[in-house]
Every structure is written in C-alpha cells, then in structure tokens.
Amino acid sequence: MTDSVLCRRDGSTLVITMNRPEVRNAVDGSVASGVAAALDELDEDRSLRVGVLTGAAGTFSAGMDLKAFLAGERPEVPGRGLAGLTESQPRKPLIAAVEGHALAGGCELVLACDIVVAAQDASFGIPEVKRGLIAGSGGLLRLPARIPSGIAVEYALTGRTMPAVEAHRWGLVNRLVGSGEALSGALEIAAEIAANGPLAVRTTKQVIRESKSLPTASAWDRQRELLGVVLASADAREGAAAFVEKRQPHWLGE
C-alpha cells in the first residue's frame, strides 16, 4: 500500500481511502496500485466481509490525473482497468461513500461499486467529452444500465454534472445523507451486510453480476449451479439451525 491509498478496518469492513487531497484524489499510478492491492486484501482475507471506497478531505475523486496522463502515465492495472476496479470488481460487496465530486474516472469508480451512499451536496458526472476524451473506464457502459438510458445519454454527451439529489432520484445513489456523513452511512450498510452469511453474500453478488451478460435460460442454469453450492454449505445448515434455535448464527464462510 502507498500513502496515496489508506486502509483501515472497521470490524469486518475494509475502508479504502484515496488520499491525494491536493489534486482532489485524482487517480494516478500510485492510487491505481494502492486500490488494487486493497481490493486483493478484501477478497483474500476471510475476516473481511465488505469494502468501502471513499476519498480524503471531503471529495471522492476528480478522476484520472491529467498531468500524469500528459506525462505518459496510465492509472490502470492491466486486465483490471482504472484503479484496478473498473474492469474487475472484487467478489465481496463494495460500497462507495461519496462526498464532494465524483467526476470522470471518479464517477466510473462509483459505477463499479455495488452500492452508493452520497452526501446531499455531492455531485457526479462523466465530463470527458469536454476534454476531447470519452468515459472509457465503464461510464458509457454502466451509466445507461443504472439510470434511464435517455438521461444517461444526455449527461454523457453534454458532460454536465449531476447533483446527488437528482442521482438519487434516478437510482444511481442508494442512500442520501447529510454532508460529511457518507462514510458513516456506508458503514451502517456494510454492518448489515456483514451480519449475513458470507458465502451467501458473495454468491448473491456473483449471480447478480453474471446474470447481466447471460441469456435468461443460461442465467437460470448458472443460478441453479451456484445455489447448489450454497445449499450444501455449512453456513446454510448453520443459518437454518440458528433460526430454529432462536440464536444468532456463527458463520464459517463455507
């Protein structure tokens, strides 16, 4: 991990903070490698259940560091995309906690997360066209899937910024909170998720992700395959036993 990305644990949640406040947490190579390493830790550590991605000093991220780009640097991880996230999401749930701006690549990082908590005065946008670029780290692929297509097209072509209140109305933001409260709101949701069976949570995310790219019949077949693994797991037996015995379950994650 580098100073450009800070990690801390909050129970079974890993909080990943992009830490370049002097450039509004713009993503350069050090941020990309740091976030990628943190996501690897999230997936590999059995004691971790959920990740939260946020930015330091009251802003999420202004996107790709254009000065680094002009110097020939690409803030991507081969095969994994921008910040090691946009083309290869972690198996475990990832929540975006957004304060201030989430623009360009910053917005694309948000779109790669499973759940979004945002301060009421936050804003989102893919303004790449204003710089002669395109939102090529998932913005043009994911935004029309998250909000009405016509609205997504308008924002993509104009490069206009979307206030968090509007983003919440269109369904891009799951939960609106007061200014400065995005991280605490994200941690509340993370705690709810972490209380559930870890194998079931990972598989639920897997089914949702994979089904988007499969024909309906194939999606049902894949779900049956994954469901069989869950039904045969120790966690499934533990969950049923805990319900019958009126106690809290003790998950093994398998």
Closest to 188 measured CA to CA, from 198, 200, 202, 174: 174
Query: Going by C-beta distance under 8 Å and a sequence separation of 6 or more, which residues neighbour residue 192?
Result: none
73 classed as catalytic: no
Which secondary-structure segment (H or E) carries 100? none
Q: Which of 22, 44, 87, 128 is catalytic?
A: 128
C-alpha R_g of the chain: 19
128 classed as catalytic: yes
Per-position DSSP letters for 193-235, written without gaps between them: HHTS-HHHHHHHHHHHHHHTTS-HHHHHHHHHHHHHHHHTSHH
Query: Going by C-beta distance under 8 Å and a sequence separation of 6 or more, which residues neighbour residue 232?
Result: none
Location of structure tokens 């590999």: 44
Q: Which of 76, 99, 108, 181 is catalytic?
A: 108
State the catalytic residues: 108, 128
